Amino acid sequence: MTDLAAAQRLMHEALIFPDADPASAQALFAGDGRLGAAGGLAVYQRGYFLRIAACMREQFPALCHALGRALFDDFVADYIRDCPPERHTLYDLGRRFAGWMEANRPDGAAREPWVDFMIDLARFEYAVFAMFDAEGNEGRPFATADTPDSALRLQPAFALGSYGFPVADYYHAVRRGEEPPLPMPAPSHVALVRTDYIIRTIPLSGTHHAFLAEMLAGHGVEASLGTVAARFGLELESARGSWREAQGSRGRWIEWGFFVGANP
Amino acid sequence: MAAAEDMLTGLPRLGLGLGLRSTHFETILSGDPQDVWFEAISENFMDSGGRPRAVIRAVAERYRLVLHGVSLSIGSTDPLDFGYLAALKRLAAEVRPAWVSDHLCWTGVNARNSHDLLPMPLTEESLAHVAGRVRQVQDYLERPLILENPSSYVRFAQSTIDEPDFLRALAEETGCGLLLDVNNVYVTCFNAGVDPLAYLDAVPCERVVQMHLAGHQDMGSHLIDTHDRPVRPEVWELFRLAWARTGGASTLLEWDDHIPDFDACLAELRKAERYMAGESTPLVPEGRGAGGEGVSNPVGFIVPRAMDSVLEDAA
């Protein structure tokens, strides 16, 4: 290893694990500045955490609200120690956060509901954040009421989520500046869709979620209706009816920009 | 090297510019065009498929633009990230910046990223290492790279070269240009206990394509490069000297934390005109600041507030 590589490795380790070997890290630096070796290194160590914590609070504002800033920052400190940032983009910081929380539950095997809620909320917020900057369909045509079912495809800025808590309701309450209580467990299914760079969160029933999941997997409308009807014990004609009727899903979802029209 | 050198001499003088920040997007695109250019943080836009990419396209249609990176990590001993460079090149082809810049620093090693602009040991080994990578980047991007002096809080014990001399040698070996951040010069020199005027005397001003201005926080014993307040008088004075010596290099104000509205940023930028006209401010010793938690090189502004772009719909 070159001297340069060794110095970089040691300094970077000192940012992630500031207490591991402070003497070796400080020995990298001359002591002739105003801060000295330890004081100068401490500026970088402190900045490393504060800078990333600020970005994580931007990615997880509702989770930060739910935990309180001090506890949220404690989670972030442990998270970036275990999962130091890997990619050049700050947008990637929170990608592993929900998984890390699950693997490092503060309740251990006892599995308290509030921890489950925090993990679900982290999953939801990262999905929203990813949707903000995902490839979308802006500037291109969407499906219309005249687009045949056989040509309907979900647009690129579309995602589904299933949770054990009403996370979207909690998120929107925080967004409105309210102080929502932590919710009780209740299954929820949510669609995220972006049009004109605005993300909409749309609560879904179990059957609607299953249908859209089929379409997200690449199946067409008719095949997806058939799969869902079979899974939920519905008559296929009844499923087709609720899809196509005047107040049915088809019209609303086309209006909300779920679909594009595929070339025949 | 000759190709980079030739392209460097053809770069335009853009006058005064501002950092492109998301809090100003609406004002910039809805108001009358201003006599200003913008510097966009490359990483804000290069991977974007959403609103940021649409915004930078729209800004590029109305204004001169340069791309300024924080993650090239030109000094790292990790391999160059050609995925990053490919995304940067695609963005540059799309918005046609006057130039592309980054920092003389490393941001991580062992496939990990600190998201900070970490200082280099300034040695012959580092110089050879960085020069080789600058050449690769310039060949790949097919344009000269412009490198900025970072603010720093330590000096590596193994360093044998002063920073201005390192920058001069790097520029001569590679044909790259320099982005002289006069606030960073002041912060680095203050923290190192050396004279910023001596730094300015040593820096190769003929290589300076662009300058940065920014505010810093006085912590009493040292300075932190916070980019969160107006430019200090001492930095304006350095700028006055540097502007004259560089022959009027394009100058940009960075404001990255506690960002005021667009007009306030513009007013701070316009103060530069007094110093460009030769007005001199006596050097005033730094007073003790208010303290608090200053963060060097804040990056929170890079992460967009997705929550502001979310609506709730009933099923």
Distance from CA of B174 to the nearest CA of A (A): 20
B281 touches chain A (CB under 8 A): no
List the single residue in A35, A131, A168 with the smallest CB-CB distance to B191. Answer: A35
Q: Scanning every residue of chain A, which has its alpha carbon at the shortest distance from the alpha carbon of B122?
A: A4
Q: Which residues of chain B, if any, have pLDDT below 70?
A: 1-2, 281-293, 302, 314-315
Q: What residues of B are in contact with residue A175 (Cβ under 8 Å)?
A: 307, 310
CB pair distance less than 8 Å for A30 and B116: no
Distance from CA of B83 to the nearest CA of A (A): 10
- Going by C-alpha positions, the residue among A70, A77, A162 that lies closest to residue A124 is A162
Burial class of residue A204 in the structure, from the number of CB atoms within 10 Å of its CB (0-12 exposed, 13-18 middle, 19+ buried): buried
Q: What residues of B are in contact with residue A27 (Cβ under 8 Å)?
A: 157
CB pair distance less than 8 Å for B50 and A61: no
B285 touches chain A (CB under 8 A): no
Q: Scanning every residue of chain B, which has its alpha carbon at the shortest distance from the alpha carbon of A128?
A: B306
Tell me the pLDDT band of A238, cut-offs 50, 70 and 90: very high
Q: What residues of A are in contact with residue B150 (Cβ under 8 Å)?
A: none
Token reading at B286:
């730094």
Distance from CA of A233 to the nearest CA of B (A): 22
Q: What residues of A are in contact with residue B189 (Cβ under 8 Å)?
A: none
Q: In this prediction, what percent of chain B has a pLDDT beyond 70?
A: 94
pLDDT digits (tens, 9 = 90+) for A175-214: 999 999 999 999 999 999 999 999 999 999 999 999 999 9
Quote the pLDDT of residue A247: 81
List the single residue in B50, B114, B193 with the smallest CB-CB distance to A12. Answer: B114
B108 touches chain A (CB under 8 A): yes
Q: What residues of A are in contact with residue B313 (Cβ under 8 Å)?
A: 200-202, 256
Quote the pLDDT of residue A109: 84
CA distance B53 to B200: 37
Q: In this prediction, what percent of chain A has a pLDDT beyond 90?
A: 95
pLDDT digits (tens, 9 = 90+) for A79-116: 999 999 999 999 999 999 999 999 999 998 889 999 99
Quote the pLDDT of residue B5: 77
Quote the pLDDT of residue B283: 47
Q: Scanning every residue of chain A, which has its alpha carbon at the shortest distance from the alpha carbon of B125?
A: A4
Q: What residues of A are in contact with residue B153 (Cβ under 8 Å)?
A: 33, 35, 39-41, 43-44
Q: Scanning every residue of chain B, which has its alpha carbon at the shortest distance from the alpha carbon of A134?
A: B49
B184 touches chain A (CB under 8 A): no
Q: Scanning every residue of chain A, which has its alpha carbon at the shortest distance from the alpha carbon of B299?
A: A51
Q: Which residue has the tokens 């599995």?
A: A111
| Secondary structure string (H, E, C) spanning chain A | CCHHHHHHHHHHHHHHCCCCCHHHHHCCECCCCCCHHHHHHHHHHHHHHHHHHHHHHHHCHHHHHHHCHHHHHHHHHHHHHHCCCCCCCHHHCCCCHHHHHHHCCCCHHHCCHHHHHHHHHHHHHHHHHHHHHCCCCCCCCCCCCCCCHHHEEECCCEEEEEECCCHHHHHHHHHCCCCCCCCCCCCEEEEEEEECCEEEEEEECHHHHHHHHHHHCCCCHHHHHHHHHHHHCCCHHHHHHHHHCCCCHHHHHHHCCCEEECCC
Q: What residues of B are in contact with residue A73 (Cβ under 8 Å)?
A: none
List the single residue in A7, A35, A201 with the smallest CB-CB distance to B156. Answer: A7
Quote the pLDDT of residue B56: 97
Q: Scanning every residue of chain A, which has its alpha carbon at the shortest distance from the alpha carbon of B129?
A: A4
Quote the pLDDT of residue B284: 52
pLDDT digits (tens, 9 = 90+) for B255-293: 998 999 999 999 999 999 999 998 876 545 444 444 565
Give the mutation candidate from A88, A93, A171, A174 for the B interface (greatest B CB count, under 10 A): A88
| Mean confidence (pLDDT) of chain A | 95
- Chain A, chain B: beta-carbon pairs less than 8 Å apart: 218
Q: What residues of B are in contact with residue A198 (Cβ under 8 Å)?
A: 309-311
Give the mutation candidate from A89, A138, A249 for the B interface (greatest B CB count, under 10 A): A89
Q: Which domains does chain B have, with CATH numbers?
A: 2-304 (3.20.20.150)
CA distance A4 to B123: 9
Q: What residues of B are in contact with residue A132 (Cβ under 8 Å)?
A: 50-51, 304, 306, 309
Q: Which domains does chain A have, with CATH numbers?
A: 136-264 (3.90.930.50)
